[in-house]
Amino acid sequence: MASGSAKFHVVVSGNNSVIPFTQQFDLDEAITMPENPQSRQQEVTRLVSDMPTVSYATGSCSVCMESFWQSEEAARQVPCGHVYHHNCITDWLLNGDSNSCPLCRHEISG
């Protein structure tokens, strides 16, 4: 038995139905972020950092209802005089579409 002489002629025809694998990156789907979250975040960060810090705030934060003395978190005073935790007023402003005091709706402008 002769060995090593077997040849396979594999004809690859150009008409093989090769399924074209096109990777479709749907740009519309990739860019699904809200219009300008970055600038809104920056605005709020700037607004809150402009508020005076209250070292020994009394009473409680109207956003989280926790007494200031129970929290290590910095208290910030908004222009109308109300005081909130730094993170509480930041979240409040980020979640709202206007810059207003949670209690009296006084406009907080930078």
Site for Zn ion in 58-87 (CB under 5 A): 61, 63-64, 80, 82, 85
Total binding residues toward Zn ion, as defined by CB under 5 A: 11
Question: Exactly one of 83, 88, 93, 108 binds Zn ion (CB under 5 A); which one?
Answer: 88
Q: How many CB atoms lie within 10 A of CB 32?
A: 6
Enumerate long-range contacts of 101-105, CB under 8 Å, 24 or more apart. Answer: 102/62, 102/63, 103/62, 104/80
- Report the distance separating Cα 51 and Cα 90, nearest Å: 11
Rounded least distance, CB 59 to Zn ion, Å: 11
Q: How far is the CB of 53 from Zn ion (least distance, A)?
A: 14
Where along the sequence are the contacts to Zn ion (CB under 5 A)? 61, 63-64, 80, 82, 85, 88, 101, 103-104, 106
